[in-house]
């Protein structure tokens, strides 16, 4: 098992990519702590893991609040004694142009998608430094590397995640802390359906458009989770500062 003896903290762990990663990490031997606003769904994931013989805890938290982030990390350390992997996965989307965005839209999305990474990493890094290393993985997006229509604040937030990841990798590499991000393409999660709703498009048609890429389909949460596992494990021991694109070839034709 690739993560035997490791402890991982996953934000946005109750559904989608976060849930798939929590289940995969547990199968690979990690003790898993999850943070999310959806307590019922989060506790259900804990149940899946523990029924299979794994170790997991859930903490209801708003990861845009410093005190919540501190509480989550403190409980993880208290329960499991260490913290080896941080997967900053919490995220939301707002499909709109600058003219259509409210100031509250901008502030909320930047807080969830970017500020939360700063807050959680600030709490986790001292523990990783004391342990002599660790792995931080942030969820960016293909739209953190290339722009998209009616997605101004989302693109801005994910572009920030990509460069924040690189800056953190430079700062903390000397402490043997690797920092990478994943850049998923369209993935079959609830967020994809939220996008269709925000754009006023029929769900089936929207998914068909999203599948127009070289592999001819959208990704699954399990496929994205495998990329996160790679970056979390020692298989990627010489990889840091990387934005790993996992998008079925969606950006293959981009500059």
Q: Could you state, in order of their start, the residue ranges of all structural domains in the chain?
A: 7-186+220-246
Q: How does the average pLDDT of the chain come out, rounded?
A: 96
C-alpha separations of 183 from 36, 79, 178, 193, 200 in Å: 21, 31, 17, 19, 25
DSSP 3-state helix, strand, coil percentages of the chain (rounded to 5)?
50, 15, 35
pLDDT at residue 49 is higher than 80: yes
pLDDT attached to residue 207? 87
Q: Residue 152 CA to chain centroid, in angstroms?
A: 20
pLDDT at residue 255 is higher than 90: no
Give per-residue pLDDT as tens, 61-111. Answer: 999 999 999 999 999 999 999 999 999 999 999 999 999 999 999 999 999
The model's confidence at residue 254, banded by pLDDT at 50, 70 and 90, is confident
Single pTM value for the model: 0.96
The model's confidence at residue 13, banded by pLDDT at 50, 70 and 90, is very high
Catalytic residues: 154
pLDDT attached to residue 253? 86
Fold of 7-186+220-246: Rossmann fold (3.40.50)
Give per-residue pLDDT as tens, 157-213. Answer: 999 999 999 999 999 999 999 999 999 999 999 998 899 899 999 888 898 999 999
């Amino acid at each position: 098992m690739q993560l035997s003896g490791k402890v991982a903290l996953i934000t946005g762990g109750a559904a989608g990519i976060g849930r798939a990663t929590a289940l995969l990490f547990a199968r690979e031997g990690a003790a898993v702590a999850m943070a999310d606003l959806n307590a019922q769904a989060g506790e259900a994931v804990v149940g899946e893991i523990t029924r299979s013989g794994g170790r997991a805890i859930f903490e209801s938290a708003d990861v845009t609040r410093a005190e919540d982030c501190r509480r989550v990390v403190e409980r993880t350390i208290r329960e499991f004694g260490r913290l080896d992997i941080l997967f900053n996965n919490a995220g939301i989307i707002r499909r709109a142009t600058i003219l259509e965005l409210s100031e509250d839209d901008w502030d909320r999305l930047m807080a969830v998608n970017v500020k939360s990474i700063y807050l959680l990493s600030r709490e986790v890094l001292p523990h990783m430094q004391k342990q002599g290393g660790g792995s931080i993985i942030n969820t960016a997006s293909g739209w953190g590397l290339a722009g998209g229509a009616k997605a101004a604040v989302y693109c801005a937030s994910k572009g920030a995640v990509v460069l924040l990841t690189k800056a953190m990798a430079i700062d903390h590499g000397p402490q043997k802390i690797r920092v990478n991000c994943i850049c998923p393409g369209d993935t079959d999660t609830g967020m994809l359906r939220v996008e269709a709703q925000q754009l006023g498009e029929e769900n089936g048609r929207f998914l068909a458009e999203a599948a127009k890429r070289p592999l001819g389909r959208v990704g699954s949460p399990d496929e994205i989770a495998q990329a996160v596992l790679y970056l979390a494990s020692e298989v990627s021991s010489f990889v840091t500062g990387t934005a790993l694109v996992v998008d079925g070839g969606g950006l293959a034709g981009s500059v």
